Chain A
Amino acid sequence: MREYRDKPQNFVEPTDAEIRARTKRNIAIAAALLGFTAFVFVTMVSRGVIPT
């Protein structure tokens, strides 16, 4: 069965600069989330919250 989609209306194509900025933000968000996860994990281990 074919996927149904409305034809986009009032769609504004992002500029190259906006796409580039969004890509950089996406990479930064991914890196920050990974870093935060590792940071919290190590901190919990260090405090003994997670037994080693």
Chain B
Amino acid sequence: MASGPEHKIGEAASETIAAFTSSGLSGSGLSGASLSGSGLSLAEPSDYFALMKPRVMSLVVFTAWVGLLLAPSQLPLWNALASIICIAAGAGASGALNMWYDADIDAQMSRTKKRPIPQGKMAPRAALGFGVVISAASVWVLYIASNWVAAALLAFTIFFYLVIYTMWLKRRTPQNIVIGGAAGAFPPMIGYAAVTGTVTIDSIILFMIIFIWTPPHFWALALYKAGDYGKVGIPMMPNVVGPKSTRNQIMVYSVILAITAMLPIVTGLGGALYAFAAVLLNLAFVAMAYKVWTSRAGERDKAADEASLYAVQAGDRAARNLFAFSIIYLFAMFGVLAAEGLLRGISI
């Protein structure tokens, strides 16, 4: 029955809050998780893995690897591998810390209510402890595997995602995604820094591509999931300024993204293959953003409440398509850069 888990969550809330505040860790949002009378949780290793947001981690691993590959020099194979594992673990740890802090709103949103804490499989403080330990370990080992610049950037990324985005911006401003998106843009810069020990114009360009890509990517999702965010009081752009203004901003950011995506050609980071692919991919991206711009996506009385990220009402199809394509776009852009980097390495 659909109401079963929610009922359980409601019953358990006060007990959890009491346990949590008594541990001196008050201040987090939390709702449903609770332990039974024995004090043991039902959380399995797979639930801890789920805390690390594996889908986000896969993107982080990929972009960090591309950053590492495009750096002008090379790391020994083991150190390169260790660096990527550390960056992925750091990203996963910040995901766990995000789930600790956002447990209260996660329980209310269709997209997130099946996460381990809202389901009552583990207490929020278990996620907090897990996140802190993995954060510290990943930063320290990255320092050993590469250098202090990469380690410092990883530490800053975790801080940025947890404190700047999750704790500060997410619940306060519709610009949350714009600024908070920086956290997701750091991995290629960290990968690059792991090799060079510096931040260069090329690594900043890699950062900028993901940074500018984030708002249209996330707002496309928010257009057809606005009700979900509105329900828990998160000021996503469509809820605050309305769907029309959001569609306008998606269009503007898509054009800026297309311009930013051409910068690797200017600096020599990308070659002919990249130029060809980037033009096609960005034309497609702008075309799909244009479809969203001219659509009525996000304009309805009641938002869709499906569990899937891709299930939408007919009017929001353009936004759904842009959201889905934006993921392919990023993988393809970085994939082409990686392919060129590999080809360059072979030709040397």
Interface residues of A (CB under 8 A from B): 12-15, 17-19, 21-22, 24-25, 27-28, 36, 39-40, 42-44, 46-47, 49
Q: Point out the residues of chain A lying under 8 angstroms from B145, CB to CB.
A: 43, 46-47
Task: State which of B36, B45, B48, B78 has its C-beta within 8 Å of the C-beta of A42.
Answer: B78
Q: How large is the interface on B (under 10, 10 to 19, 20 to 34, 35 or more residues)?
A: 20 to 34
> Contact between A43 and B144 (Cβ–Cβ < 8 Å)?
yes
Q: Is the CB of B42 within 8 A of A47?
A: no
Other A-B pairs, 18, CB within 8 Å; known A12-B36, A46-B79: A12-B38, A14-B40, A15-B36, A15-B38, A18-B42, A21-B44, A22-B40, A28-B45, A39-B85, A40-B141, A42-B78, A43-B78, A43-B144, A44-B144, A46-B78, A46-B145, A47-B79, A49-B144
CA distance A12 to B38 in the complex (A): 5
Instruction: Tell me the bound Cα distance from A42 to B38 in angstroms.
Output: 40
Chain B CB within 10 A, most for which of A25, A27, A36: A25
**A21 to B44 CA separation, bound complex (whole angstroms):** 5
Q: Tell yes or no: B303 within 8 A of A by CB.
A: no
Residue contact A18 to B44, C-beta cutoff 8 Å: no
Residues of A within 8 A of B43 (CB): 21, 25
Query: In the complex, A43→B141 CA distance in Å?
Result: 8
The CA of A3 and the CA of B42, in the complex, are separated in Å by: 33
Structural contact, B38 and A24, CB atoms closer than 8 A: no
Q: Which chain A residue shows the least CB distance to B146? A: A47
Instruction: Return B310 CB to nearest CB of chain A, in Å.
Output: 32
- For A17, what are the chain B residues with a Cβ–Cβ distance below 8 Å? 42
B37 contacts chain A at the CB level, 8 A cutoff = yes
Q: Which residues of B contact A36 (CB under 8 A)?
A: 137
The residues in B between 35 and 81 inclusive whose CB is less than 8 angstroms from any CB of A are 36-45, 48, 76, 78-79
Q: Are A18 and B82 in contact, with the CB atoms below 8 A? A: no
Which 8 pairs, one residue from A and one from B, show the smallest C-beta to C-beta distance? A12-B37, A28-B45, A18-B40, A14-B38, A12-B38, A46-B78, A43-B82, A14-B40
Chain A residues with CB under 8 Å of B79's CB are 43, 46-47
Task: Give residues of chain B (275-330) contacting chain A, Cβ–Cβ below 8 Å.
Answer: none
Q: What is the distance, in angstroms, from B40's C-beta to the closest C-beta of chain A?
A: 4
B38–A13 touching, CB < 8 Å:
yes
For the complex, give the distance between the alpha carbons of A4 and B36 in Å: 29
Distance from A5 Cβ to chain B, minimum over Cβ atoms (Å)? 19
A-B contact pairs, 6 of them (CB 8 A): A15-B36, A22-B40, A39-B85, A43-B78, A43-B82, A43-B145
Q: Which residues of A contact B40 (CB under 8 A)?
A: 14, 18-19, 21-22
A12–B76 CA distance with the chains assembled, in angstroms: 53
Contact B44 A39 (CB under 8 A): no
**In the complex, what residues of A have CB within 8 A of residue B36's CB?**
12, 14-15, 18
Cβ contacts under 8 Å, B38 to chain A: 12-15, 18
* Cα-based distance from A28 to B46 in the complex (angstroms): 10
Q: With A18-B40, A46-B76, A46-B79 known to touch, is A39 a contact of B45 (CB < 8 Å)?
A: no
A40 touches B42 (CB 8 A): no
How far is B38's CA from A14's CA once the two chains are assembled, in angstroms? 5
Output the nearest chain A residue to B121 by Cβ-Cβ distance: A21
A46 to B145, CA, bound (A): 8
**Interfacial chain B residues near A21, Cβ < 8 Å:** 40-44
